[in-house]
Amino acid sequence: MSNIRFEQIEGKSLGFYTLVAGLGILVLAALGSVYYMEHHGHFVTGMSNRIVWGVPHVFALFLIVAASGALNVASISSVFNKKLYKPLSRLSGLVALSLLAGGLMVLVLDLGRPDRLIVAMTEYNFKSIFAWNIILYNGFFVVVAVYLWMMFERRMNKFSHTAGLVAFSWRLILTTGTGSIFGFLVARQAYDAVIMAPMFIIMSFAFGLAFFILILMASYQWTNRPLGDVVVNRLSNLLGVFVAAVMYFVAVYHLGNLYLAENTGVENFILFDGGIYTKLFWYGQIILGGLIPMALIYHPATKGNRSMLGLASVLIIIGGFIQLYVIIIGGQAYPMALFPGKEILEGYGGVAQYSASLPEISLGIGGIALAIIAVTFLVKFLAFLPESLADDVADPHYKG
């Protein structure tokens, strides 16, 4: 293991600058959109008093969930002491921090009054899970940064196991906190399930790893560094397991809701007659984001093929995004049961319409771009990436 050498990437190629410039434009477009939305007010968006949280929240929560999941690779290495993952730990921490930064950017810039961020940082209502999340997110930056430092600094290496443990616990609490945002919405049938928080944790495993794999493969490909099959196949298997676990939780969640008489309305809506949401659920979340990636990962014809693994990761990310869309937007579109046993003829009810506006989407994409820019720059300035992850380097027991 001692022969792992970490090295910055050169970052001088035309490709590098094109990537950074392209991402930079996306971030600028996002900032422009924010200015536009804040200047005019949210009437220029598709959001309303019925669809209170729109596409920006889908992006933001998706990135935050993925962020905590991206840390998993590091956790497996330091908490469960799996040597193979050790060289990947630094990158894992970096991807986690970057995704979180992107997610928070979107979340904060969609506030009605982002200029009052200072209020959110100084006025805490400790009963609010939202306030707790602000603390958890800030803490995550600190905890993971310290963890990275322990890994970078040779003298501190001995503490990296402990730091890893703290970071791992922190991320579990953080994702639970994110999932609990919905758990507290007693009146909304779609969110009325205890399973929400654990489901978010499993989702984070899958989405975070998908991001990690893509970033890993891209950076090794683009810098011409060797990346052996041992590492890639291990990650691929892990990804398959996580996706299967997400699907299992989704099944339990929906079956559970179907049995709960008071929630059958929203269940029927999502599963059977919710129009766009039903389509997104089955075609997007289940088939595109679950079944196809699993087939790509496990089918003998595609197993071990990196392009296919890349495709599977992209599909998992798209499927995960759709999953959050169905949860967040679909859950709001379905009306609350104001008068159980009565029918509302006028004044409230009906399925709320929503179509995302361009600025909203641009803000969300800007969050992803920010995350990738952060990774791109930091691997240039700090030694996050092992110079080689060839099989004989990565796996001490490898017999070539």
Partner 1 sequence: MSKTLNRRDFIKTTSATTIGVATIVSGITLTTFANANKMPVTNEKRWGMLIDTNKLTEADIDGMVSACQQEQGWGSELHSTGNQKPGWIKKLKVRDKATGKISNLALMCQHCEQPPCVDVCPTNASMKRKDGIVLVDRHLCIGCRYCMMACPYDARSFVHETLSNQKEHMPRGKGTVEACTMCVHKVDKGEAPACVASVNSDAVIFGDLYDASSKINQTLKTIQSAQIRADLNLNTGVRYSGI
| Chain contacts with partner 1 (rule: CB under 8 A) | 38, 40-43, 47-53, 111-114, 116-117, 119-120, 123-125, 127-131, 134, 181, 184-188, 332, 336-348, 352-353
Q: Token pair of 229, please?
A: 């099959």
Distance from first CA to last CA of the chain, Å, rounded? 16
CB of 149 vs partner 1, minimal distance in Å: 30
Q: How far is the CB of 228 from partner 1 (least distance, A)?
A: 46
Element containing residue 102 per DSSP (H, E) = helix 89-109
Nearest approach in angstroms of CB 337 to partner 1 is 8
- For 227, the 3-state DSSP assignment is strand
189 and 352 in contact (C-beta within 8 Å)? Answer: no
Q: Are 206 and 316 in contact (CB under 8 A)?
A: yes
d(CA 377, CA 20) in angstroms, rounded, equals 8
* Smallest separation (angstroms) from partner 1 to the CB of 309: 37
| Nearest to partner 1 of 46, 102 (CB atom) | 46
If the CB atoms of residues 157 and 353 are measured against partner 1, the closer one turns out to be 353
Nearest to partner 1 of 233, 268 (CB atom): 268
Q: Least distance from C-beta 330 to partner 1, angstroms? A: 14
* Least distance to partner 1, CB of residue 354, Å: 9
Distance (Å, whole) CA 252 – CA 270: 15
Cα–Cα distance for residue pair 42/334, rounded to 1 Å:
21
Query: Nearer Cβ to partner 1, position 3 or 122?
Result: 122
Provide φ and ψ at 7, rounded to 5°: -150, 145
Secondary structure (3-state) at 387: coil
Residue closer to partner 1 (CB basis): 32 or 114: 114
Residues 6+ apart with CB under 8 A from 29: 362, 365, 366
For partner 1, give the closer residue by CB, 248 or 339.
339
304/350 with CB nearer partner 1:
350
What is the C-alpha separation between 239 and 233, in angstroms, rounded? 10
Least distance in angstroms from the C-beta of 268 to partner 1: 17
| Pairwise CA distance, residues 132 & 177, whole Å | 8
Q: Based on CB atoms, which residue is closest to partner 1, 42 or 380?
A: 42
Shortest Cβ distance from residue 190 to partner 1 (Å)? 11
Query: Could you give the CA distance from residue 369 to residue 357 in angstroms, rounded to a whole number?
Result: 19
Tell me how far, at minimum, the Cβ of 5 lies from partner 1, in Å: 45
d(CA 196, CA 179): 6
Rounded Cα distance between 199 and 167, Å, is 20
Under 8 Å between Cβ of 148 and 93: yes
Nearer to partner 1, 42 or 254 (CB): 42
Rounded to the nearest 10 degrees, how much is the dihedral formed by the CA atoms of 245, 265, 178, 355?
A: 100
